[in-house]
Amino acid sequence: MTESQERILSAARNYVTELFSHGVKPEFVFHNIEHTEDVAEASSLMADFYHLNDEDRFILMLSAWFHDTGYSSGHPEGHEEVSVQLATKFLHEHGVEEAILQKVSSSIRATKMPQSPIGQVEKILCDADLMHLATDDFKARSQLLKQERENLIGQKIPKKEWRKNNIKFLESHKYFTEYGQEKLEPKKQENLFQLTKKNKDTDDMPLDRMEAFPYSFGNQKPDEKTLKKTADRGVQTMFRMISSNHLRLSSMADNKSHIMISVNSIIISIVISVLFGKLAYYREYTVPACVLLSVCLASMTFAILATRPSISVGRFTEEDIRNKKTNLLFFGNFYKMELDDYLWAMNQMMKDGEYLYDSMIKDVYFLGIVLAKKYKYLRTSYTIFMYGLIIAVIAFGIVAFMTAGSGNTTIPTIDY
pLDDT for res 244: 80
Whether residue 198 is found in the same domain as residue 235: no
Exposure letters 314-331 (e unless 16+ CB within 10 A, then b) = eebeeeebeeeebbbbee
Q: Domain for residue 396, yes or no?
A: yes
* C-alpha to C-alpha distances, 127 to 9, 115, 236, 386, nearest whole angstrom: 21, 10, 22, 49
Residues 34 and 177 reside in one and the same domain: yes
Residue 41 has pLDDT above 50, yes or no: yes
pLDDT tens-digit series, residues 306-326: 988 877 778 888 888 888 888
How far from 402 is each of 156, 253, 395, 406, CA to CA, in Å?
101, 41, 11, 6
Residue 302 falls within a domain, yes or no? yes
> CA-to-CA distance for 249 and 246, rounded, in angstroms?
5
For residue 413, tell me if it sits in a domain: no
Same domain, 189 and 282: no
Greater pLDDT, 173 or 278: 173
Number of Cβ atoms within 10 Å of the Cβ of 278: 12
Window from 148-162, 179-193, 295-309 with minimum mean pLDDT: 148-162
Q: Structural domain tally of the chain?
A: 2
pLDDT for 218 equals 42
Residue 217: pLDDT band (50, 70, 90) is very low
Task: Give the pLDDT mean for 109-128.
Answer: 89
Residue 344 resides in a domain: yes
**Count of alpha carbons within 13 angstroms of residue 73, beta-carbon side:** 15
**CATH (domain of 140):** 1.10.3210.10
The pLDDT value given to residue 303: 93
Q: What pLDDT sits at residue 44? A: 92
For residue 197, the model assigns a pLDDT of: 81
Handedness of CA 47, 49, 52, 54 (dihedral sign): positive
Cα 398 → chain centroid: 53
**H or E, element range at 197:** helix 185-198
Calpha distance 182→209 (Å, rounded): 34
Same domain for 154 and 106, yes or no, is yes
Local confidence band at 225 (pLDDT 50, 70, 90 cut-offs): low
| 277 in the same domain as 250 | yes
pLDDT, residue 405, reads 66
Q: 399 or 227, which is more confident?
A: 399
Give the pLDDT band of residue 16 (cuts 50, 70, 90): very high
As a whole number, mean pLDDT of residues 358-377 equals 88
Helix, strand or coil, per DSSP, at residue 380: helix
Q: Is 322 helix (H, G, I), strand (E, B) or coil?
A: helix
* 136 found inside a domain: yes
The residue among 258, 244, 292, 256 whose CA lies nearest residue 272 is 292
Hey, is 154 helix, strand or coil? coil
Measure CA of the first residue to CA of the last residue in the chain; give whole Å: 70
User: Do 189 and 321 belong together in one domain?
Assistant: no
Q: Is the pLDDT of residue 199 over 80?
A: no
Q: Do 204 and 234 fall into the same domain?
A: no
Last residue of a domain, one of 172, 201, 221: 221
Distance set, CA 411 to CA 94, 278, 281 (Å)? 69, 11, 7
Q: What is the mean pLDDT of residues 203-215?
A: 51
Check pLDDT > 70 for residue 381: yes
Say if 264 falls within a structural domain: yes
Kindly report each contact of residues 218-227 with a partner whose C-beta sits within 8 Å and lies 24 or more positions away, as own/partner. 218/114, 218/169, 218/172, 218/173, 218/174, 219/172, 220/114, 222/114, 226/114
215 and 262: one domain?
A: no
Q: Is residue 207 part of a domain?
A: yes
* The pLDDT of residue 391 is above 50: yes
Res. 51: pLDDT tops 50: yes
121-176 pLDDT, tens digit each: 999 999 999 999 998 888 888 888 988 888 888 888 888 888 888 888 888 889 99
Helix (H) or strand (E) holding 14: helix 3-22
Considering Cα of 280, then 281, then 286, then 292, what sign does the dihedral take? negative
Buried-state track 109-139, b at ≥16 Cβ within 10 A, e below 16? bbbbbbbbbbbbbbbbbbbbbbbbbbbeebe
Q: Is residue 43 located within the same domain as residue 124?
A: yes
What pLDDT is stored for residue 233 in this prediction? 65
Give the residue from 221, 254, 280 where a domain finishes.
Answer: 221
Q: Which amino acid is at 366?
A: F
Co-location of 196 and 270 in the same domain: no
Cβ contacts of 394 within 8 Å, gap of 6 or more: none
Q: Kindly indicate the confidence band of residue 215, based on its pLDDT and cuts at 50, 70 and 90.
A: low
Phi, psi torsion values for 157, nearest 5 degrees: -110, 125
**Domain edge (last residue) among 221, 236, 258:** 221
Contact 377, 306 (CB under 8 A): yes
Check: pTM over 0.75? Answer yes or no.
Answer: no
Does some domain include residue 304? Answer: yes
Rounded Cα gap, residues 257 and 379, in angstroms = 10
Statement to judge: residues 212 and 234 lie in one domain: no
Let me know whether 305 and 378 are in one domain.
yes
Q: What is the pLDDT of residue 416?
A: 41
pLDDT in tens, 67-97: 999 998 888 888 999 999 999 999 999 888 8
Range of the domain at 377: 228-406
d(C-alpha 108, C-alpha 56), whole Å: 14
CA–CA separation, 217 and 114 (whole Å): 7
Q: What per-residue confidence (pLDDT) applies to 213?
A: 61
Closest listed residue to residue 68, CA positions, set 27, 26, 5, 19: 19
